[in-house]
Amino acid sequence: MDLLIQVLIAGITIGSIYSLIAIGVVLIFKSSGVINFAQGSMVMVGAFITYALVVQFKIPILISLLLAFLISGVMGMIIERSVLRYLTGASLISIIMVTLGISYVLDGGALATWGSSNFTFPKLFPSFSIQLGGIKVSSIYLWSFLTSMALLVIFLLFFKYSKMGLSMRAAADNQKVAVVLGISSKKVLSLTWIISSAVATAGGILLASVSALHVNLSYIGLIVFPVVILGGLDSIAGAAVGGLIVGVLEAISGVYIAPLLGGAFQQVAAFAFLLIILLIKPYGLFGTKEIERL
Partner 1 sequence: MGRNKEKQWPYYLIFLGVFLIFPFSLFQYTKYILFLVNMTAIGVIGALGLNILTGYTGLISLGQAAFMGVGAYTVAILSTRVGLPLWVNLPAAGVVTTFVGIMVGTPSLRLKGFYLAMSTLAAEFLLEYVFKNWESMTQGIQGLFITPPQIFGMPINNDRVFYFLSVTLAILGVIGTRNLFRTNVGRAFIAIRDRDIAAELIGIDVFKYKLVSFAISSFYAGVAGGLWCYYMTIINPEAFQLSISIDYVAMIIVGGMGTLWGSVYGAAFVVLLPEAIQRIMEVLQPVLHMEYTFAAFKQIVFGFIIVVFLIFEPKGLSEIFSRLGNKISNLRRKEDRIARGPRE
By CB under 8 A, what part of segment 65-104 binds partner 1?
83, 86-87, 90, 92-94, 96-98, 100-104
Judged by CB under 8 A, which of 50, 140, 274, 286 binds partner 1? 274
DSSP codes of every residue in 241-258: HHHHHHHHHHHHIIIIIH
Strands 135-138, 129-132: pairing kind: antiparallel
Residue 225 CB, shortest distance to partner 1, in Å, is 6
Q: 180 or 279, CB closer to partner 1? A: 279
Whole-angstrom distance, CA of residue 125 vs CA of residue 61: 10
* Interaction between residue 229 and partner 1 (CB under 8 A): yes
Closest separation between CB of residue 207 and partner 1, Å? 20
Per CB under 8 A, 279 contacts partner 1: yes
- Strands (DSSP E) along the chain, which ranges? 129-132, 135-138
Size of the site for partner 1 (CB under 8 A): 45
Helices (H), the chain: 2-32, 39-51, 61-82, 92-114, 139-161, 163-173, 175-180, 185-210, 220-231, 236-252, 258-261, 265-280
Q: Which of 60, 62, 116, 161 binds partner 1 (CB under 8 A)?
A: 116
Residue 31 beta carbon to partner 1: minimum distance, rounded to whole angstroms: 16
Cβ(12)–Cβ(145) below 8 Å = yes
Does position 111 interact with partner 1 (CB under 8 A)? The reply is yes
Look at the chain and count its residues: 294
- 228 CB-contact burial (10 Å; exposed 0-12 / middle 13-18 / buried 19+): buried
| Binding stretches for partner 1 (CB under 8 A) | 35, 83, 86-87, 90, 92-94, 96-98, 100-109, 111-112, 115-116, 222, 225-226, 229, 233, 261-263, 265, 267-268, 271-272, 274-275, 278-279, 282, 292, 294
